Chains A and B, each alone.
Chain A
Amino acid sequence: MATAKKAAVKKKGTQAYKMFDPKKAGVPDHLCPIATDLIVMKTGEWRSERPIVDRTKCVKCGTCWAFCPTQCIVEKPRWFEADMAICKGCGICAVECPHGAITMVTERE
């Protein structure tokens, strides 16, 4: 779990306030649900199938990039592929690819 505890980034001309610190304020941690930390949820952890790109078939048309609901398609020198930390394995790219370059493969445990 990545935890971003840093205060808001101070930009020029804006006043940034530090995130509320319950410990410093003397608030017991069992009192009530307040979020002062950011816990990043990785959609890649949900995946049961992964997209495999056939690099010989990919023409970099960008169809997969346009359709991906998690916007996880990244550009490589001669092809596009999904970022596996984010890709949730929905398979939309495989269906939409006009060149049949993407196939879904079952993830192993």
Chain B
Amino acid sequence: MAKKIVCDGNEAAAWGAALAKPDMVAVYPITPQSGVAETVAGFIADGELDADLMDVEGEHSVMSVLQGGALAGARTFTATCGQGLAFMFEPYWRTPNLRLPIVLCIVCRDGITPQCVWGGQQDAMTVKECGWIQLYCENNQEITDTVVMAYRIAEHPEVMLPVNVCFDGNFLSYAAEPIEVVDQAVADKFLGPKTPEKINWHVALDPLRPMGVDPLTGMTGPGGQAFAKYRKGHCLGMQNALKVIEEAHKDWKKLTGHDFAPLIEEYQMKDAEYAIMVIGSMTGAGKDAVDVARSKGKKVGLLKIKTFRPFPVKALQKAVSKIKALGVVDRSVNYGWNCGPLYQEVLAGTSKMKQRPEVISFIGGLAGTDITIDHMLDAIDTVGQAAKGKVVEETIWMNEKF
């Protein structure tokens, strides 16, 4: 029987991981992620989860040890954020190129400096070009469900890529909500039988199948051709993931009744003339603001992006095909373009449309600041003006005034 519990986002991630029955977990605690490490360690200590817990000296070792585990055929899990992710970067970068289906929760924390331990998506956004799949969650139920789904996606033979399940530090990591933890049999049925071959059929540390893992590859000639081939294959795997992510969400809904949009959720978009686009936990405030604006007769909708890597270009184009203006709210900064990173992606994704909406960049909620319904209503007003032709060109910093 599925059970209802009240837990915070970190515990929700741990419950999801437990349902996926990893063979090996390595975690190094860091705020606001430590709860994931503690909860999973608790499951293992209590005998509820039969996995090896690796106590390592830092995040660099966390990812390195999991790579070894995956190469030996183990299903693996970890979580980190912020500076921990920065320290993990070197092996983090290698994981997707080796096509190892590791699942890593990023409990999003803003980047230092200024010194900060609070929520913000700068960490996850900074590593968006490393070739990992990135899925952003709105609430604790979505975290649990997405961690389970992440294994199905990562281990799909046409994908074979690691997955980041990203959720906002503080706002979700420490917020208690009721969630439904599905029955183990349901998760087992969803993921299918767990075998080492599912993880390392293509690359392995296995004396019975001798191969050199990750040899020197490059330069003009056959080495360079091989390098280009692997990069191209990686991009293909990312594109295949779009279909697999949709299938996973569909099957999960069929088995559990839990319904989350796989790529982009469309909220009140049917007759919308303009919309705001959100990512992560700010979705709640966004939806409430849309409801308030709708009660005043404004034809506004909301788009929530869940799959950020690979970027769902077609789903975006379909979602914005009928609207005149779109405000994109980011919880992180794109320094190079003086705007939010999601905004930049949306501009790129809509650039080849014949009729494309005006797009405005909002940045808010940095370093643990709230994005309230009032902030969202302000944004909706600004986007509404843009739909009438009054377009703001500069990036709007939402928490500058209040």
Contacts and interface: CB of A to CB of B under 8 A. Distances in A.
Given A31-B233, A32-B97, A20 B215 contact: no
A33 to B, nearest CB: 5
A31 B46 CA distance: 39
A2 interface: no
Given A1-B222, A17-B207, A25-B201, A30 B212 contact: no
B202 A32 contact: yes
A33 B226 contact: yes
Interface in A37-55: 39
B211 interface: yes
Given A27-B201, A27-B202, A39-B222, A32 B211 contact: no
Given A1-B222, A20-B211, A36-B212, A31 B160 contact: yes
Contacts of B208: 17
14 contacts: A1-B222, A25-B201, A26-B201, A27-B201, A30-B229, A31-B203, A32-B98, A32-B99, A32-B203, A32-B230, A33-B217, A34-B214, A34-B215, A39-B222
Closest A-B pairs by Cβ, 10 of them: A30-B233, A35-B212, A35-B215, A20-B211, A20-B209, A32-B99, A27-B202, A34-B211, A30-B229, A31-B202
Contacts of A20: 204, 209-211
Interface in B282-310: none
Taking chain A's interface residues, is the majority helix, strand, or loop, or is none over half, making it mixed?
Answer: loop
A26 B212 CA distance: 17
A19 B98 contact: no
Interface in B158-184: 160
B213 interface: yes
B207 A36 contact: no
Q: How large is the interface on B (under 10, 10 to 19, 20 to 34, 35 or more residues)?
A: 20 to 34
B388 interface: no
Contacts of B214: 33-34
B254 interface: no
Interface of A: 1, 8, 17-20, 22, 25-36, 39
B232 interface: yes
A33 B210 contact: no
Nearest to B219: A41
B322 to A, nearest CB: 38
A19 B207 CA distance: 10
B236 interface: yes
Contacts of A8: 210
A33 B97 contact: yes
A80 to B, nearest CB: 32
A29 B228 CA distance: 12
Contacts of A36: 211-212
Contacts of A34: 202-203, 211-215
B73 to A, nearest CB: 14
A27 B233 CA distance: 12
A104 to B, nearest CB: 26
Q: Which of B201, B207, B211, B230 has the most CB of A within 10 A?
A: B211
Nearest to B158: A28
Contacts of A32: 97-99, 160, 202-203, 230, 233
Contacts of A29: 229
Contact of B215 (A17, A19, A33): A33
Contacts of A30: 229-230, 232-233, 236
Given A30-B233, A32-B99, 17 more contacts: A17-B208, A17-B210, A19-B211, A31-B202, A31-B203, A31-B230, A32-B160, A33-B213, A33-B215, A33-B226, A34-B212, A34-B214, A34-B215, A35-B212, A36-B211, A36-B212, A39-B223
A68 to B, nearest CB: 24
Q: Which of A1, A30, A33, A34 has the most CB of B within 10 A?
A: A33
B256 to A, nearest CB: 32
Interface in B214-256: 214-215, 217, 222-223, 226, 229-230, 232-233, 236
Nearest to A7: B210
Q: Which of A20, A26, A31 has the most CB of B within 10 A?
A: A31
B211 A33 contact: no
A87 to B, nearest CB: 21
Q: Which of A32, A34, A36 has the most CB of B within 10 A?
A: A32
Contacts of A19: 210-211
A40 to B, nearest CB: 12
Nearest to B226: A33
A33 B208 CA distance: 19
B209 A17 contact: yes
Contact of B233 (A1, A28, A35, A39): A28
